[in-house]
Amino acid sequence: MAISQWRQHFDEALNRTLDRTVRLAVTGLSRSGKTVFITSLVQQLLHSADNPHLPFFKVAGEGRLRGTKPQSQPDLHIPAFRYDVALEAFLADPPRFPEPTNGISEIRLAIRYKSSNKIIQKLSKINTLYVDIIDYPGEWLLDLPLLEWSFDEWSRQIALLCDKSPRNHLSEAWRVFLDAVDVTKETNETTLRQASELYTQFLLACKDKQQGLTLLQPGRFTMPGDLKGAPLLEFCPILKIPLGVKKEDSFYGIMKKRYESYKEHVVKKFYKEHFSNFDRQIVLVDVLKTFNTGFHTFVDMREAIHLVLKSFHYGKSGVFNRLFRFQTKVDKLLFAATKADHITPNQLPNLERFLQLMLMQANNNARFEGVETETLALSALQCTTPVSASFQGKPLSCIKGIPNDSEKPLAIFPGEIPVEIPPPEDWTTERFYFVDFRPPLLHDAHALPHLRMDRALEFLLGDKFS
């Protein structure tokens, strides 16, 4: 009796130690496909036990998965991730994509599986892996580099950016306004508000689809979320830093103070709560968008991603670790080119090679710190089907789908993905023409059609199921 009781206790304790938690950081600039990726990932896992479309996700392929359930998340003050809302949008008629995310949300999945390890199998028949994922607006990610910069440094960066086209003419109004203000003198609330409003308008103009710029700081200005209208967001950088101004209530002094409190109360809090302690990271990049909008947006996006990833610095010396005194222990990092269904399958290797080229520096840094990295082209929700059309008597592989802004299906050969970064004058519609497709008509949402989600899952989580 006593022994059997003891045994039971032992088993429970053992189970607890065998259960593991993985915190997966899904990183991506705004509109890079985070929400769709997380929804697809959740949906693939929820139906993984009977899903034949995950052949390269080993636990599923080997039939060791027992099932997945969403669980109440560990951080009770964060809203739950509403994958059901995204699913509803996919299943609507006509199907559409979810709205841009405007706040933070979290989901925890409990995945039951049978271990492949004989010893663990003996100890416990079924194990559980908990996966925590957080969704947030991509705009906020660009706040991360601010943590490292003082107000002066940041202002200098912005001034540099505003020298070049197209930012120089987009920022015209704001710059003219600033030039008229003497930043060393005392000022009133209206001037401050006007300056920050003009700056916000400038950022929004950059964000516009036509411009397609991504390196926009501070992130809350373009996506305020719960801080909409809060005085915390009423500041802006200054183009010419005055020397030796000590006055606290000058224009410069106030802006600087507000910048610091933005960092302290908004940025630090966000990262401390949500980006601490993750084990695995996926960086989603929408490479194709830049092909459509031109070379300068490509440079802008590359810069933004590098800035963000630099702050994630994986070794001991990263800002993260210095600021918050914890050691990020991420050991696997996946760079993923999203929306791979916009190109023909034979271009997938090229897309991967291009992304590798684009993020070479970040990749090298991570590897240097001992992080295992991989590059993959994937599509969380496959919206097109590959078709073959005859063109000038030869078969040509195309993709077919319904564009977002139309009702008619379209077959298109969107252009070849280059394996080298093309010269700026080549980024034209003559060469690239990627169309945004709407989600496919789904009869049920059991397993969303995807491209290579199984590979991503295997890389990110596969080893945890051993």
- Please tell me whether residue 384 binds Mg ion under the rule CB under 5 A: no
Among 95, 98, 386, 418, which residue sits at the site for ligand GTP (rule: CB under 6 A)? Answer: 98
**Which has the closest alpha carbon to 218: 229, 208, 207, 203?**
203
Amino acid at 109: L
Q: Which does 168 bind (CB under 5 to 8 A by kind): another protein, Mg ion, ligand GTP, none?
A: none
End-to-end CA distance of the chain: 34
What part of residues 419-448 is at the interface with ligand GTP (CB under 6 A)? 436-437
The alpha carbon dihedral of 147, 150, 152, 156 has a sign of negative
Separation between Cα atoms, residue 233 and residue 218, nearest integer Å: 9
User: Site residues (CB under 8 A) for another protein?
Assistant: 52-53, 55-56, 61, 340, 345-346, 348-349, 382, 385-391, 394-398, 400, 405-406, 408-416, 418, 429-433, 451-452
* Stretch of 101-109, 198-206, 378-386, 441-449 contacting Mg ion, by CB under 5 A: 101-109
* Stretch of 31-39, 46-54, 212-220, 231-239 contacting Mg ion, by CB under 5 A: 31-39
Site string for ligand GTP, 301-340 (x = CB under 6 A): -------------------------------------xx-
**CB under 8 Å to 199, separation ≥6 — which residues?**
174, 221, 236, 237
Least distance (Å) between residue 137 CB and Mg ion: 6
Which pair of tokens denotes residue 279?
Answer: 């084990």
Amino acid at 117: N
- Strands in 143-278 per DSSP E: none
φ, ψ (nearest 5 deg) of residue 250: -75, 165
- Please tell me whether residue 33 binds ligand GTP under the rule CB under 6 A: yes
C-alpha dihedral over 98, 104, 107, 108, to 10 degrees?
Answer: 160
- Please tell me whether residue 35 binds ligand GTP under the rule CB under 6 A: yes
Which pair of tokens denotes residue 257?
Answer: 């103070």
- Please tell me whether residue 348 binds ligand GTP under the rule CB under 6 A: no
Q: Which does 395 bind (CB under 5 to 8 A by kind): Mg ion, another protein, ligand GTP, none?
A: another protein
- Please tell me whether residue 100 binds ligand GTP under the rule CB under 6 A: yes
Separation between Cα atoms, residue 143 and residue 271, nearest integer Å: 9
Among 28, 29, 32, 35, which residue sits at the site for Mg ion (rule: CB under 5 A)? Answer: 35
In the chain, what's the furthest Cα-to-Cα distance? 86
Among 34, 280, 452, 455, which residue sits at the site for ligand GTP (rule: CB under 6 A)? Answer: 34
Q: Which does 95 bind (CB under 5 to 8 A by kind): another protein, ligand GTP, Mg ion, none?
A: none
Centre a 10 Å sphere on the Cβ of residue 419 and count the other Cβ atoms it contains.
Answer: 14
The footprint of ligand GTP (CB under 6 A) covers 28, 30-36, 97-98, 100-101, 137-138, 338-339, 341-342, 379-381, 383, 436-437
